[in-house]
């Protein structure tokens, strides 16, 4: 069973258990970095800081679910237009609107980025930017463009108008859709009883996809390898993966984040001999350097296959002496579960 376990660890972390486990079972005895650096921004007008700070305070108040603090960022006669076109007028009504919204959808978080500030007069400014509202589970991602008019009132900048519009899909960079999976980027390894599983995850050009490659060596001999592409599927509006293995099998999976440290992948595919396969992969981020994966509800060619549980892989540190590689001890391999 140790040989099967070692092979399974590669298949699971690379999302391929549903492809190769069936073929393995025929053999005797088998049973969670940074985006691409942007150009240096132009020198900021010192007048812009207090204006930008209003939107910083807005995000902080929203994330703290403080509707009163949100309302206090507006003038008495302010108006807010939401992405659906609904308008709320007056500071008190705006506070009530945010209180109700935060109560109905607890746990949502807001990120905002002011892209442009323009002063219409010394005391009136117009800003434009982008925002993202998301849930820790990753099930709610709303990208918007916003524009606002701010005025100086009692020596402070406050919002007089705030308008939000849903961002067109083509305006949302692929990285924004995929950055919740950035924890995977790097090299992963599982070594036990002379077997070796190596997985590499890297960004494609322009961070448009994540590319995962794997190889499995059993007693020093290469057995399997494969490549997976992970990207945003605009048709299903979900993270999706496409995988191809060295045996001629292929498949795909839909990714769902269920909490801060867990991802569920509903996978399906076809073996080289044409048999359909399906499985549910559960990836649990134990810490930044180790991931535990189980593959359950496995069906191969219409037959139920045994679950594969609690396979642990660890991040491999950069090779000592490599350019820019920090000197640090290798992460220990977690104990393998009893079989």
- Whether residue 252 has pLDDT greater than 80: yes
Does any domain span residue 281? yes
- Both 201 and 116 in one domain: the answer is no
Q: Which of 276, 275, 281, 222 is nearest to 246 (CA)?
A: 222
Confidence of residue 148 (pLDDT cuts 50, 70, 90): very high
Does any domain span residue 41? no
Does any domain span residue 263? yes
- Both 297 and 205 in one domain: the answer is yes
- Both 88 and 150 in one domain: the answer is yes
Q: How many residues does the chain have?
A: 339
pLDDT at 128: 92
Does any domain span residue 260? yes
- Whether residue 112 has pLDDT greater than 70: yes
- Whether residue 337 has pLDDT greater than 50: no
Mean pLDDT of 190-203: 83
- Both 191 and 308 in one domain: the answer is yes
pLDDT at 160: 95
CA–CA distance, 245 with 26 (Å, rounded to integer): 18
What is the count of structural domains for the chain?
A: 2
- Both 312 and 200 in one domain: the answer is yes
- Whether residue 220 has pLDDT greater than 50: yes
Mean pLDDT of 168-182: 76
Q: Are 114 and 96 in contact (CB under 8 A)?
A: no
Name the average pLDDT for the chain: 79
Domain span holding position 308: 2-33+185-316
154: left (phi over 0), alpha (psi -120 to 50) or beta: left
CA–CA distance, 243 with 213 (Å, rounded to integer): 10
Q: Are 165 and 223 in contact (CB under 8 A)?
A: no
pLDDT at 296: 93
Residue 91: φ, ψ to 5°: -60, -45
pLDDT at 278: 95
pLDDT at 133: 81
State both tokens at 145. 């463009």
- Whether residue 135 has pLDDT greater than 70: yes
pLDDT, tens only, 230-246? 998 888 878 999 999 99
CA–CA distance, 212 with 313 (Å, rounded to integer): 14
pLDDT at 106: 80
pLDDT, tens only, 288-332? 899 998 999 999 999 999 998 888 889 987 665 444 343 333 333
- Both 139 and 216 in one domain: the answer is no
Confidence of residue 24 (pLDDT cuts 50, 70, 90): very low
Where is the domain boundary, 172, 205, 237? 172
Where is the domain boundary, 123, 147, 172? 172
Q: Are 315 and 290 in contact (CB under 8 A)?
A: yes
pLDDT, tens only, 28-64? 333 333 334 444 555 667 889 999 999 999 999 999 9
Mean pLDDT of 227-232: 93
| Residue whose structure tokens are 């807005």 | 58
pLDDT, tens only, 265-293? 999 999 999 999 999 999 999 998 999 98
pLDDT at 168: 64
- Whether residue 158 has pLDDT greater than 60: yes
CATH number of the domain residue 244 falls in: 2.40.128.20
Does any domain span residue 254? yes
Does any domain span residue 331? no
* Beta-carbon-side half-sphere exposure of residue 157 (alpha carbons within 13 Å): 23
Does any domain span residue 128? yes
- Both 128 and 224 in one domain: the answer is no
CA–CA distance, 279 with 307 (Å, rounded to integer): 9
Confidence of residue 338 (pLDDT cuts 50, 70, 90): very low
CATH number of the domain residue 66 falls in: 3.10.450.50
- Both 155 and 227 in one domain: the answer is no
- Both 136 and 226 in one domain: the answer is no
- Both 29 and 56 in one domain: the answer is no
CA–CA distance, 315 with 119 (Å, rounded to integer): 49
Q: pTM (2 decimals)?
A: 0.57
Q: Are 21 and 193 in contact (CB under 8 A)?
A: no
- Both 155 and 204 in one domain: the answer is no
Q: Are 251 and 265 in contact (CB under 8 A)?
A: no
What is the share, in percent, of the chain residues with pLDDT greater than 70? 76
State both tokens at 129. 């930017």
pLDDT at 175: 79
pLDDT at 136: 61
- Both 206 and 136 in one domain: the answer is no
Q: Report the range of poorest mean pLDDT among 106-110, 206-210, 272-276.
A: 106-110
Where is the domain boundary, 172, 199, 232? 172
Does any domain span residue 111? yes
Q: Which residue has the higher pLDDT, 197 or 171?
A: 197
Q: Report the range of poorest mean pLDDT among 31-45, 57-71, 132-146, 197-211.
A: 31-45
């Amino acid at each position: 069973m140790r040989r099967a376990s070692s092979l399974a660890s590669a298949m699971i972390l690379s999302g391929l258990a549903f492809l190769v486990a069936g073929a393995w079972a025929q053999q005797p005895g088998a049973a969670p970095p940074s985006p691409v650096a942007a150009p240096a921004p132009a020198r900021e007008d010192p007048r812009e800081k207090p204006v930008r700070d209003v939107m910083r305070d807005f995000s902080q108040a929203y994330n703290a679910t403080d509707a009163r603090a949100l309302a206090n960022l507006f003038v008495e006669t302010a108006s807010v237009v939401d992405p659906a076109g609904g308008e709320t007028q007056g500071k008190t009504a705006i506070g009530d609107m945010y209180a109700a919204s935060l109560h109905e959808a607890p746990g949502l978080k807001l990120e905002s980025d002011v892209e442009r500030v323009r002063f219409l007069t010394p005391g009136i400014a117009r800003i434009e930017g982008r925002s993202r509202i998301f849930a820790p589970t990753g099930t709610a991602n709303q990208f918007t463009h916003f524009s606002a008019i701010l005025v100086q009132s009692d020596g402070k900048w406050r919002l007089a108008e705030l308008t939000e519009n849903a961002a067109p899909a083509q305006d949302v960079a692929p990285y924004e859709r995929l950055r919740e999976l950035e924890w995977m980027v790097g090299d992963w390894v599982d070594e036990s009883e002379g077997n070796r599983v190596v997985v590499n995850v890297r960004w494609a050009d322009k961070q448009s996809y994540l590319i995962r490659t794997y190889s499995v060596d059993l007693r020093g001999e290469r057995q399997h390898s494969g490549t997976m592409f992970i990207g945003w599927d605009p048709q299903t509006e979900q993270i999706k993966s496409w995988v191809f293995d060295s045996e001629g099998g292929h498949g795909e999976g839909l990714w769902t984040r269920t909490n801060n440290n867990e991802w569920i992948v509903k996978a399906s595919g076809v073996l080289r001999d044409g048999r359909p396969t399906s499985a549910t992969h559960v990836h649990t981020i134990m810490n930044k350097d180790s991931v535990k994966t189980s593959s359950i509800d496995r069906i191969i060619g219409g037959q139920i296959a045994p679950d594969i549980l609690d396979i642990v892989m660890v991040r491999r540190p950069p090779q000592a002496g490599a350019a820019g590689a920090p000197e640090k001890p290798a992460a220990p391999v977690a104990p393998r579960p009893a079989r």
